[in-house]
Structure 1
Amino acid sequence: MEVALDKLGTFGEVTVDGKQSDADCKAIRKFQQRYGISPAAGRAGPTTADVAQRLAATDTSRCKTGSGTTFCVDLTHQTVFAMRGGKVVLKPTVTRTGMPGFATPTGAYSVQNKALKEWSNPYEVWLPYWQRFNGGIGFHETTTYIHTKSIGSHGCVNLLPSDARAFYELGKVGTRVYVFGHRPGT
């Protein structure tokens, strides 16, 4: 956990020594709060460790980008980030993609339309910060706890509220979307 947090940076001072200090606990709590991990108690449980390892393992160079903005979805690590001109403009964050039978399709797409709030007829739920990129599949704020591994989306790219807003503000109709990797279990 310390190694992953140290690699990610920005959460406070972490000493990589195998011991959990007060500074480590503060950094872990800040990390848990940022990524919506409950409870955000400053102790590194399995969910915290899993999220930190997935983020630290995300290789942004695997995303095929063009000259403009590209939203990159890493199915293998269940992370998403944005790049522009080969540089990361939104750091990797957690996502939840398609569950078995509803796999998020890999490939290159583009944002087809956007809505601050889109009603999903099949699932009877509002989808905040909606950005459609393939048929009925798009980016949106999650409507459930994103870290529940036993569930997935119906193909959409679920995001934490602050991340959904950041991607919505950055994206435009025509923004490139590149989905790569394979979600374990699908």
Structure 2
Amino acid sequence: MSLSLYDVSVPAFLRGFANLTEILKKGEAFADEKGIAHKELLEARLIEDMLPLTGQIQRASDSAKFVPVRVGGVENVPFSDDEVTFADLHARIEKTVAFLKDVVPASMADREDIEVVLKTRSGETIFNGKSYVLGFALPNFYFHVTTAYAILRHKGVPVGKMDYLGRP
């Protein structure tokens, strides 16, 4: 049995968002229990030149959403990056999950060799479908999910490895 680009990405994103949702719930509950302003956690960063918690969730969302867009030709649904509360972040995750659940697996079938051009401030990077998903999109998604976890853990939220990994 061979795995498609859909098989190796979309289910991983969905699981990652399920776990991230629970981690954010623990962060919000921790803030409420300790009398910490939500803003303190939402705007927290590991270091000044990194995105805050809100930005980490936004980039995880974009990383996941752009796989079916760039590889499967699915129409992009722009998100505005205006989240400032835990409720906003949960809504962003829910929108991303709904988008991913609507992706037809066949749209990403046999797309390993298509050209994917990633345009950033520093220039263009050209991938094929397989290298984009496996070498950029998945690692980028996990980077932002891990960083969100690390920000909350650094602020004292009692989350651990199994919160990050989730239960099968």
TM-score normalised according to structure 2 size: 0.24
The structure richer in helix per residue is 2
TM-score normalised according to structure 1 size: 0.23
Which structure has the higher relative contact order (CA within 8 Å, separation 6+)? 2
The structure richer in strand per residue is 1
